[in-house]
Structure 1
Amino acid sequence: MTAVGETTSAAPAARKSGFRPDVQGLRAIAVAFVVLYHSGVSWLSGGFVGVDVFFVISGFLITTHLLESLESTGRIAFGSFYAKRARRILPASLLVGILTVLVAWVWMPPLLMKEVARGAVAAALYVPNMLFAVEGTDYLAETSPSVFQHYWSLGIEEQFYLFWPAVLALGFWLCRRSERRLLLLAAALVLASFVLCVSLMNVSQPWVFFSLPTRAWELGAGALAAFLMRSGARWLRAPRTGVLSWVGLGLLLVVGLVYTETTPFPGYTAALPVLATVLLIIGGAAPGRLNANGLLSRRPFQFVGAISYSLYLVHWPLQVIPQVAVGQDDPLPLWLRLGLGAVSVPLAWLLFRFVERPVISWPTLRSRSQLWTGAAALATSAVLIATAGGSYYLTSATGETATDQAAGEETQLEKDPAGTGYVPENLTPALEEAEADNPTIYTDDCHRSQDSTDSSGCQVGENEDAPVVFLFGDSHAASWYPALAELAEQGRIRLDTNTKSSCPSVEVPLQLEGVPYTECDTWRDGVIDRINSEQPDLVLLANYGAVRPDLRSGGDFASRWQDGTASTIEAIDGPTVDVLADVPDQGETSAVCLSNHLEDTAQCAVDRAEAFDPAVTEAERAAAESAGARYVDLTPYLCNDRMCPPIIGNVLVYRDGHHLTTRFSRLMAEPLGEEIEASLE
């Protein structure tokens, strides 16, 4: 690396940027990975790494241009740089954002429009990645993603573009105009970001996934490739260096085929797709025919690469909105998802042809002060915010109860409930309040968070003569707290709560966000030790018995669950143990579905045969019986012989897809109390 003003033996092509067909072809591979992955192509289980490829490419191209500016003028024209970036990125993204809000308003359940509006505002303010980090979004999960979730990567790039030019300009000045020293500074920053990324994976995977400080190293890797390409090193000009592009291409394909949603990501595993992309960039610049340029320069790759940005923007809403419209419990068939992915190609071409490409060179903006570009960007962002706010307001104004029915009957709990066929005026909790209808165990800090190992429990009830009941399990156990608290307030029991998020009392080793959930194991062992020490009258186990993709090792889930349940029961020495059957799984959030079917709630009821996994249910029952525990099944109060209704009387049963509302849980106090008394006889 040479300082500005020094002579160099590097060929001009090594120091000057220009159109590279191989990089365009690499864009095509990246966006194809993402689109096929989101379209449900199971064999491309690691297709999500396409975004990482985009990061490296962006870092390489941007840094190349910035270094050229520093070399030729000794400075960076910040106004011109940001104006060009705004014309390149914002018109297409903001237009797609506006159209997405409008289509969502027409097709998506009204209760989801608040989430849509929140995502749109975050996108308009260029911080969608921060929104998803705060919400703890799992990008690789398959449940109800936001229609703006794909904007997270735009947020990363926009924030990188905001800071990186200043970092290079300041560093160039501090390094006395030496690219060699500037390279060392950039490398140190990239290394720091990578270390932060890897070290925080055990703390918060969503923040690592969505935040700039933990993702900047990927763009920085592209930046280091830009420094390297300008170094004039002889080996870069050797034809055999082109083989690196084939190595990179092969490595990228392996990652796409081998990585899955259970792969800890980003962390150290992101280094492989990043390295593969760097190798492709370096090898593609080598002379001769040993590189992969002959493949990547072919017309199909060039076409898809040209529209890759627009394709990335439009493909995601096409996948998400139809799925949400029909309901998450009715997955779209693969052929339809692939068809939606295919439809996104011509739509992306239209967006590229009539929006993305024309605005980049729009004379009205290019010939005027950069302030005009900034003003246009702010105005368009304001339109997106206004559209989001207006759609949410109009949706809220339509109401959340059936129009031709008034109040529902006050709930009288009984077996084989028929359910209420409409959303009544006196529904409790209201649909818009369902999500937040958590038991007070959460606000009282008695329900342990995922990072807690506190096994001390919380006590409710003042009748010293009442039997002591330990509630032990995950959030499904917590949803039974209102019923048990009611019994404690009546003096029938003394309650000791021991619940923890995503941590069943069943002894199975789990992963949480891609890393071993050791806090769960520690907490579970601590609770069992306290049970054996304090010897309560009854231990009530309650857990979410759904098939878990986060088990640390494979095997049949039902068998693992049976063994784990039996192991926990056998570890409890002395007290009586009851295993409480799990509640029906609705498959999707009841309130969301009901907001779209106010007059016909049967559309949101789940068939009883589909509400439970028979293998897991029988495994849990068998474990209880074999280990000397009692299996308590209150399903008859939640389901009739055909279905499990979402509304019984005037009470909403579920706050999401598989947790009871506080109100309905409290109604279950009497039948649960009868079962407890029977166990203690």
Structure 2
Amino acid sequence: MWKYLPQLDGLRAIAVYLVLIYHANHVPGGPGYLSGGFIGVDLFFVLSGFLVSNVILSEIDKRGTFDLGGFYARRVRRLLPAAVLVIVATMIAFVVVADVVRRIEMIGDARSALLYVANWHFLGQQTDYFSQDLEPSPFLHFWSLAIEEQFYVFFPLLLILLVKAGKSVTRRLTVILTVLLVASVASQLYWSSENPTHAYYGSDSRLYQLLAGVLLALALRHSTKLFEGRRGAVIMLGGIVGLLVFASGLIDASATWRGFGGTVASVALIGSMTVLPTAWLSRLLSGSVPVYLGKISYGTYLWHWPVILVLREVLPGLGGNGVALFAFVLSSGLAALSYQVFEMPIRTNKRLVKVTWPTVVAGLTTSALVAVFVVSPVLDTDRRPALVASTGAPVVSTKIPGDGPVPGGIDWKKEVKDVGKSKYCTADDLDACMVVKDNGPLVLVVGDSFANMLGPMFVQLAKDHHFSLAQNVVQGCPWPNDLADHGQQPELVTRCAASRGDWMAKALAELKPALVVTVMKPRDPKGEYTGKSRLVRTRSGALADAPLSEVMWSTMKQTVDQIQAAGADVLMVQSVMDAYPDRPLECLAKATRLSQCAVKYPTTLPPSDGYMQALAAAVPGASTISLNKVVCPTPPTCVPYRNGQIVFRDRHHIMTGFAVANRKKIWALMTAAGATRGLG
């Protein structure tokens, strides 16, 4: 018969504070230690599988059946109130500290957290959990809670089916779960190379950790011999040492292999501490302080990440160690408060305990109603943040042309969605490239997200000047045929390979473009490494030991020569100047005057711009233009909003609406460069 083990609550405390310290590393000047602390989530998963299976199996032993409604009602009372409270409180906090642009981006995040599909939501967005460059969502940590809730739905249903099937429930369950665990491990290994984001967020690739806990519970019901005596003490020591080693930066391991190691260490710890309650570590973690911290660990986990992000906003100079300390105190304090005055009264309410399915329906309905009717009205408001450290804008001493108050009435939701629509095709389906069909000559646009931001402008130019338009745009995919950027998601690298190489030869032969427009983000700063250690390298393996500058020049020239040999002109669009603020839209949403988000005209250009200029001078029919004078017509400093248009979407991209509004100026640049001569 299952009984409460206080040492496992103490183990929860270790798990949550490993995660907290890891997340504190996302702050500039972070602690730098426990860089693998995210495996605290792995420990949570194994613990959850172990505990919930023991509770359910004990009920089946006692009653011969299982109350599904009672189980779901307990889960709702245990998990949902605190989650809804934290989500609503987080939304309110970010209305105070964050601008509307960032808040709009959080709407889908908050809704997915409330509906317990956050892991699939962030997977769909290809959100990199480990990135310290992106502005993280305050609801990102709900991905793990979503996986647990999905497991809590699936696992009891499986048990009920087995109970109804007759005898040997434990044996059948062990076989089925072992098969599922092996399949989940295989899924983790597969996605770790194909799509690491899926490997991290996918329920299929994470299920093995929960099942490891369940199988441990089943094994201990059969025999505890493995974890008894001196051998159990050695396993316990190995488990805690292994957990801390994998949580540290002492070993260089991928998230997948660190997760495997963390899972094995978690199984060792939970098994040995269950069988040896009087061992040194069990006694240590059974103390009143670790047990209480473990009891409130769910709340601490909910609060810690929003707390860290709010501290980043209002106290940017605090530093990682300071943030870790403040986050420990504040998140634990908020968790204790909500546990005592909010969670426990609901969890132990006698009326709610007596009703099961009505409790489940009421809880899920509340969460859904908040998702539908509360999230958007709270986050999607024009209110500027009341607490903000700085816009991060450059300090200017002279008046900037076009400066003035930030206009009111900007449709921020529309601006956030102004990302263009990519058109992607392969050599086997060239018709999919076509965007505008006209009787005039054909223009073919090839490139990455920089080509995507100009896509709507070229559509309008095609309609204005009566030429046909085809596009082959893949995010993160440079236009030179043999060039690949392996810093992108693996599926984008694969898609890039399919949309370059042989595709160009076939497109030139069958589409017969009069003009090929090439656009890409400069790849020059990616590092002068060689071979596979360099993110930007040739797809064919050529020039593996050559400097990146030679690789860039060679692949660009090869592609331009190929286009010229096919009888088409080529227009190479040079790099677009970077905006000074890391997130110009957010800067503008926070600012009161346009000059607070001013951008500086570049004094140096990427080497690849020089390569384009050299190719334009040397290859007949080749030309190049720079959009910087359109983007910033009043150097050395320009405002990011002109003539009713926001200029920059982010640090690297201009708004598609701005490009469309300025298409006549860009067409004039194309004409002056000689690129439009074949377009009639």
Which interval holds the TM-score relative to the shorter structure? 0.7 to 0.9
CA contact (8 A) 1:455 1:526 kept: no
Query: For 1:225, which of 176, 195, 216 is the aligned residue?
Result: 216
CA contact (8 A) 1:483 1:668 kept: yes
Aligned to 1:337: 323
Name the % identity. Answer: 27
1:383-441 CA distance string (max 9 Å, x none): 74454354257x26x799xxxxxxxxxxxxxxx993453344686xx4321133344x5
CA contact (8 A) 2:104 2:413 kept: no
Query: For 2:247, which of 252, 256, 274 is the aligned residue?
Result: 256
Letter of the 1:517 partner, please give it. V
1:33-62 CA distance string (max 9 Å, x none): 211121124443322222122111100100
Aligned to 1:670: 665
Bigger mean CA deviation after superposition, 128-137 or 163-172: 128-137
Change (3 A) 1:537 1:564: farther
* Pairs within 5 Å for 1:436-585: 436-439=417-420, 442=422, 446-447=423-424, 457-458=433-434, 462=438, 470-491=444-465, 496-505=470-479, 507-513=483-489, 517-530=493-506, 539-545=516-522, 553-554=532-533, 562-572=549-559, 573-574=561-562, 575=564, 579-585=572-578
SS where residue 140 of structure 1 aligns? coil
Aligned to 2:337: 350
CA contact (8 A) 1:46 1:258 kept: yes
TM-superposed deviation, 1:365: 3.4
Letter of the 1:96 partner, please give it. V
1:303-324 CA distance string (max 9 Å, x none): 5433321111111111234546
Matched, 1:618 2:606: yes
Query: For 2:626, which of 630, 633, 637 is the aligned residue?
Result: 633
Bigger mean CA deviation after superposition, 269-278 or 114-123: 114-123
Aligned to 1:172: 163
Letter of the 1:32 partner, please give it. Y
Matched, 1:25 2:10: yes
Query: For 1:305, which of 284, 291, 294 is the aligned residue?
Result: 294
CA contact (8 A) 2:486 2:536 kept: no
Unaligned runs of 5+ residues in structure 1 are 1-14, 401-415
Query: For 2:598, which of 576, 600, 605 is the aligned residue?
Result: 605
Letter of the 1:505 partner, please give it. W
CA contact (8 A) 2:116 2:146 kept: yes
* Pairs within 5 Å for 1:21-420: 21=7, 23-40=8-25, 41=30, 42-142=32-132, 143-174=134-165, 176-200=167-191, 206=197, 209-258=200-249, 270-287=259-276, 292-293=281-282, 296-297=285-286, 301-321=290-310, 323=312, 333-335=319-321, 337-342=323-328, 343-366=330-353, 368-370=354-356, 373-374=359-360, 377-378=363-364, 381=367, 384-385=370-371, 386-392=373-379, 395=381, 418-419=401-402
* Residues in 2 aligned to 1:541 and 1:85: alpha-carbon distance in whole angstroms: 55
CA contact (8 A) 1:242 1:292 kept: no
CA contact (8 A) 1:101 1:387 kept: no
CA contact (8 A) 2:239 2:269 kept: yes
CA contact (8 A) 1:475 1:543 kept: yes
* Residues in 2 aligned to 1:350 and 1:148: alpha-carbon distance in whole angstroms: 21
CA contact (8 A) 1:462 1:491 kept: no
TM-superposed deviation, 1:173: 3.6
1:335-393 CA distance string (max 9 Å, x none): 55335423323222323333334543344534x33356446635753774454354257
Change (3 A) 1:621 1:211: closer
* Residues in 2 aligned to 1:471 and 1:582: alpha-carbon distance in whole angstroms: 15
Change (3 A) 1:474 1:116: closer
Change (3 A) 1:491 1:363: closer
* Residues in 2 aligned to 1:272 and 1:515: alpha-carbon distance in whole angstroms: 27
* Residues in 2 aligned to 1:93 and 1:84: alpha-carbon distance in whole angstroms: 14
* Residues in 2 aligned to 1:178 and 1:589: alpha-carbon distance in whole angstroms: 56
TM-superposed deviation, 1:68: 1.4
CA contact (8 A) 2:448 2:479 kept: yes
Change (3 A) 1:556 1:58: closer
CA contact (8 A) 1:589 1:656 kept: yes
* TM norm structure 1: 0.79
1:454-484 CA distance string (max 9 Å, x none): 67743757575x6x65432101112223444
SS where residue 480 of structure 1 aligns? helix
CA contact (8 A) 1:437 1:662 kept: yes
SS where residue 576 of structure 2 aligns? coil
CA RMSD of aligned residues (A): 4.1
* Residues in 2 aligned to 1:294 and 1:578: alpha-carbon distance in whole angstroms: 72
CA contact (8 A) 2:22 2:38 kept: yes
- Aligned pair count reads 626
Bigger mean CA deviation after superposition, 635-644 or 645-654: 635-644
* Residues in 2 aligned to 1:264 and 1:43: alpha-carbon distance in whole angstroms: 17
TM-superposed deviation, 1:664: 1.8
* Residues in 2 aligned to 1:169 and 1:77: alpha-carbon distance in whole angstroms: 9
Bigger mean CA deviation after superposition, 63-72 or 356-365: 356-365
Unaligned runs of 5+ residues in structure 2 are 386-398, 538-545
CA contact (8 A) 2:476 2:492 kept: no
TM-superposed deviation, 1:185: 2.0
